[in-house]
Structure 1
Amino acid sequence: MAVGFDVWPDVKAVKGFRLGTAEAGIRKTNRRDLVVMEWDEGASVAGVFTLNKFCAAPVHLAKGRLNQSPRCFVINTGNANAGTGQQGMEAAKESTAGVAELLNIPSESVLPFSTGVIGEQLPVDRLLAGSPAAVADLSEEGWYKAGEGILTTDTRPKGASRQFEVDGVVYTVSGISKGSGMIRPNMATMLAFMATDVPAAQPLLQKLLNDAVNLSFNRISVDGDTSTNDCCMLVATGKTGSEPLNSEASDLYVGLRQAVNEVAVELAQAIVRDGEGASKFITVSVEQADTSADALEVAYTIAHSPLVKTALFASDPNWGRILAAVGRAEVNTLVIERITIWLGDVCIVENGEPAASYTEAAGQAVMDKDEITIRVALGAGDVCEQIWTTDLSHEYVRINAEYRS
């Protein structure tokens, strides 16, 4: 039931960044479920990780190894290796050691990532058995197969790419993501991997990634849950150009920032479009807020409301549910008489009262669309924030009820 585009985009190869996949049978047979990503020494690597306190063993390990000159990611699906205690940590270490041996690099330079069922021990023997095939498959052209290899309940691989030119040199940013359910900010049950050939110093790359995540992956919600395994990684191979980027005051930084932001937003929106059981793609835009925190509080209160989400699924212009969600948002400075709300381009509330121009037919015409914007003006300031979410369908319940079967 994914919404919108279902054609794999033209994801460009990134010089010096190689991807390989294999069918390891981690949980199911006859599907790609093991991915290895590898690059040369000297690259910079940045990462953002879940804030869930029960974060998985691979998250702990990847975070701890981020400053140890990473050379490789190993990603498995079907098993989250979360809630698995010390045995899970040993399994993560064993899996990275096996891949490191194949690549002849230190095990500390391999960062693990897992996604799938929580609370089950990782079948390390299957992962290790599949690793040689994934390493043998390494190629700069491997983005599509890797996009398939990281999926769980997703219905399609998600990729994005941008190229930009500075002083006659063309640079590339490409990436893939996965995620469909257990999606909300502070990362979601999602993995995202981006790479660029720009030579960039790690501190600057980390700042750039933090900013991009806050504009993209931390602006999406499907069901309000936060996973144990979320990660977003950015690798700068430095294979194009010569001088390392270490200042924000340069055309190269501006170009890279825009490209990374655009790739991240496209990948984040693709996760929402492919949300479990989703039939609608919803943009919630809150403007005229006093602070960013106020705008996001209102936006997420709307996006997380089961009543709003089920009305959207039913294409029911029951706009009172939106009004109620705005009113219960934890913003102390809300002044109802200043608030105006639109459903698409149809005004439903004006200065805190039902809009005189509103008609049920106009509201129905908006709700019948696959892509809908809910816009709220708070009349309190000049801050605007946007997030993206989905409706809540019967199919979402079915998918999650049958997840382990």
Structure 2
Amino acid sequence: MKCSAKGVCAAKGFTANGIHAGIRDQDPARKDLALIYSEQPGTAACVYTTNKVKGAPIQVTKAHLKNGTAQAIVVNSGNANTCNADGIEIAEAMCDSAAHALDIDPEKMMIASTGVIGQPLPLGPITANMAKLTAGLDQDGHTDAAQAIMTTDTHPKEYAVTFELDGKPCALGGMAKGSGMIHPNMATMLSFVTTDVNISAAMLTEALHEVCADTYNMIYIDGDTSTNDTFGVLANGMAGNACITEKNEDYQIFKKALYEVAMHLSKMLAKDGEGATKLLTCKVTGGASVKDAKAIAMSVVSSTLLKCAIFGEDANWGRILCAIGYADAKVDIDQVDVDLISAGGDVAVCRDGHGIPFSEDKALEVLKQDEITVSVVLHDGTGQAEAWGCDMTYDYVKINGEYRT
């Protein structure tokens, strides 16, 4: 499996674009409307936020995907279109406008929005610029689209891979946005993946949920689950492989490709957490079960005290043991080993649940790097898991204190 450029345009038949439509009146230089289009309709699947308050675009996309097919995705940033009396009407009108410009059935449209909650979404700027958006669709438009879905992100997030199925070259690529309001239980942000693989809607849905559980659901930024989070995949079948209709070897290859893209995007999201300066990874091995390993990994990366210590480059390993201890998991704390690892080296800080002598200077060198791994070995079984987060900085409060202004 090889890394590829072009993000959501890596697969055959896909084009994309992103423009400034005027939703962000305060910043005319920022793109705020994106479109992804497939030459042919394909199978589609999504997972959504578990928040009881859901944006109108989620309700519309759910309705459109009842038959498991789609052909295009329209996304706006700057306004979540959530908790608005006319939200569904606006979302449907956006779909109608895009579908008319593309000359496709509006029911083949997926839609998403991100931004401020509770403010009416103006339809005028969107419909007025839809012709411009569709006219600019291009195989090189993937980064424009990735930029157009950003909110507090500092850079676009894209990744793609190429592989073979049934002797046919295939590609799978995606884009994501997310910097704050990120907490697991799917979704955790906006992410859209496209592929030319021929796969049934049922198998696509299975792969989506399986991969999501080990990637996007293993990110933690700040404990807030947003109202609009969506992870969607569109597969147009243009690679020409035999359709995947069961969990055979081709299914496993496809799922691995989906995992690769989702995993890399997950790490990009975690590293770009609001105000973050460091990516925090927790690798747990030796768990009594995978479930226990996941619970412990997430408990560690979600510890506010540890996130602050990582920002301060303080090897306060007791906060790691504390987070392990309150995780909803089976663990014998007297067997736990902890190491801190980065490009700056590796320092052991805990063995058998107890502190051991270590060089504070060496620990500081490890923690000065921008990617830190906490290795937790439990010695309770074979369960393993990985979770991603970031440090907690002064800027996180500043960004969120001024979000609407």
Quick one: distance in 2 between partners of 1:328 and 1:243? 48
Q: Percent of counterpart pairs with the same letter?
A: 37
Q: Say if 1:13 and 1:141, in contact at 8 Å, map to a contact too.
A: no
Alpha-carbon offset, residue 168 of structure 1? 4.3
Q: Secondary structure at the match of 1:127?
A: helix
Match of 1:179 in 2: 178
Quick one: distance in 1 between partners of 2:106 and 2:6? 33
Match of 1:342 in 2: 339
Q: Say if 1:22 and 1:131, in contact at 8 Å, map to a contact too.
A: no
Q: Aligned AA for 2:307?
A: K
Match of 1:3 in 2: none
Residues 230-239 or 31-40, more deviating: 31-40
Match of 2:190 in 1: 191
Residues 48-59 of structure 1 correspond to what in structure 2 (within 5 A)?
48-59=47-58
Q: Say if 2:166 and 2:242, in contact at 8 Å, map to a contact too.
A: no
Deviation by residue 1:227-268 (Cα, 9 ceiling, x = unmatched): 111111111111121532223223x33332221111111111
Quick one: distance in 1 between partners of 2:17 and 2:354? 57
Residues 164-243 of structure 1 correspond to what in structure 2 (within 5 A)?
164-166=163-165, 168-187=167-186, 189-243=188-242
Match of 2:391 in 1: 391
Match of 1:16 in 2: 13
Match of 2:268 in 1: 270
Using a 3 Å threshold, how does the CA distance of structure 1 residues 399 and 294 change in structure 2: closer, same or farther?
A: same
Deviation by residue 1:207-234 (Cα, 9 ceiling, x = unmatched): 1111121121111111121111111111
Quick one: distance in 1 between partners of 2:369 and 2:148? 32
Q: Secondary structure at the match of 1:175?
A: strand
Deviation by residue 1:337-395 (Cα, 9 ceiling, x = unmatched): 1222222232212112112x423233222222211111222232210111011000011
Quick one: distance in 1 between partners of 2:391 and 2:155? 19
Residues 192-201 or 357-366, more deviating: 357-366
Gap regions ≥5 residues in structure 1: 1-7
Flag as ranges the 4+ runs of structure 1 deviating above 4 A: none
TM-score normalised per structure 2: 0.92
Using a 3 Å threshold, how does the CA distance of structure 1 residues 368 and 34 change in structure 2: closer, same or farther?
A: same
Quick one: distance in 2 between partners of 1:103 and 1:353? 63
Q: Aligned AA for 1:249?
A: N
Q: Aligned AA for 2:24?
A: R
Choose from 247, 255, 258 the match for 1:257.
255
Quick one: distance in 2 between partners of 1:67 and 1:15? 25
Q: Say if 2:158 and 2:173, in contact at 8 Å, map to a contact too.
A: yes
Quick one: distance in 2 between partners of 1:254 and 1:304? 31
Q: Say if 2:47 and 2:187, in contact at 8 Å, map to a contact too.
A: no
Quick one: distance in 1 between partners of 2:328 and 2:283? 17
Match of 2:355 in 1: 354
Match of 1:309 in 2: 307
Q: Aligned AA for 2:186?
A: M
CA RMSD of aligned residues (A): 1.8
Match of 2:291 in 1: 293
Alpha-carbon offset, residue 280 of structure 1? 0.7
TM-score normalised per structure 1: 0.92
Count, aligned residues: 394
Q: Say if 2:48 and 2:187, in contact at 8 Å, map to a contact too.
A: no
Quick one: distance in 1 between partners of 2:282 and 2:12? 37
Alpha-carbon offset, residue 42 of structure 1? 4.0
Quick one: distance in 2 between partners of 1:401 and 1:36? 31
Quick one: distance in 2 between partners of 1:288 and 1:385? 10
Quick one: distance in 1 between partners of 2:189 and 2:379? 35
Matched, 1:30 2:49: no
Q: Secondary structure at the match of 2:100?
A: helix
Q: Aligned AA for 1:350?
A: R
Q: Say if 1:14 and 1:140, in contact at 8 Å, map to a contact too.
A: no
